[in-house]
Chains A and B, each alone.
Chain A
């Protein structure tokens, strides 16, 4: 379910684009999945329909969606594109992490140390399973 974080200074256009991209890469929206119509999503989120249209068109240009005239936007998946995008997303997450930590005055060593401790403790990361 797509949501807008109203407290965020990140523009809704950007928020939506990122969420849909994440949904596609994570498999939440599988190949051929029909995206909600512009009208439906705009009404649900009280967002200008033009903004939704802009997001869909951008995702189409970026190779995540296909538009079929009259019937809407559908998820498009290409393996190579997908793996490349996963790397881009990881890099973006890392950038965000680094910039907030730097803002708080932590050193690179402290970041690496915290990250490795967290990874060790994260049950999802247990390779023995």
Chain B
């Protein structure tokens, strides 16, 4: 289990997030979501062990591992490093650093990436696919994916997700993704962490949300209902209640409504 205890993180004097406590189970697939600028990517960097918390601790629960980074595959939101290197050189460098044997990267062919291309000549989508293939080839126990997949065209994005799912079936890694397209990943994720500038607003299993989050149409919801968000739709008031009575909702609808409410309250 990965355990964040009272983590404060950020750059310079002003923390982006403070006092975050969070447990992520082995093999769990989690999505961190929330509005822009609340520190989702920063939190992901803490999980990637490349940004140390300014207060609090992170434990991975991998006994016998000196450097947790050896077991982490991290796909950041910008991939502008090593521009002049060739694809094959970067792959070899990566495998060397992770002490793994070279292996074929099946996604490269599908994305028309030549082994001898220079990184700078690849499109953003191709770079992302290459980086993802590299990460998956090192057999990580923890896969971290930032918002970057948005930059990949639908065909390659679908391919990337399929490959990720195959890896999930093969090696059961823990996966933490940031803000992917809800409709594309709603059947993949087992838990949602909704982050706002004030910390974790929601940290629930998908199963629980699908069963208990309901859309209630009423001018005023009953006092007993726990209302998470409210919106106007065609002149009527809709409330997201958890738990409560109302219409069943899809995960993407629940999250989209929650996202909307964080903007209204600003």
Contacts and interface: CB of A to CB of B under 8 A. Distances in A.
B103 interface: no
Interface stretch (B70-78, B146-154, B183-191): B183-191
Nearest to A39: B169
Given A42-B165, A42-B168, A42-B169, A47 B187 contact: yes
Nearest to B27: A50
Contact of B168 (A4, A44, A48): A48
Interface string A8-30: 11011000000000000000000
Nearest to A49: B169
Contacts of A42: 165-166, 168-169
* Main SS class of interface, B: helix
A42 B166 CA distance: 8
B187 A51 contact: yes
A6 B184 CA distance: 9
B187 A9 contact: no
B162 A48 contact: no
B170 interface: yes
B248 interface: yes
Interface in B150-175: 158, 161-163, 165-166, 168-170
A4 B166 contact: no
B249 interface: yes
A48 B187 contact: yes
A88 interface: no
Interface in B210-224: 210
B29 interface: yes
B250 interface: yes
A6 B253 CA distance: 12
B247 interface: yes
Contacts of A43: 162-163, 165-166, 169
Contacts of A7: 250
A12 B190 CA distance: 13
A39 B165 CA distance: 7
A38 B172 CA distance: 13
B249 A49 contact: no
A46 interface: yes
Interface in B166-207: 166, 168-170, 183-185, 187-190
Nearest to A16: B187
Given A39-B170, A48-B29, A51-B187, A11 B165 contact: no
Interface of A: 4, 6-9, 11-12, 38-39, 42-51
Closest 4 CB pairs of A and B: A39-B169, A49-B169, A9-B248, A43-B162
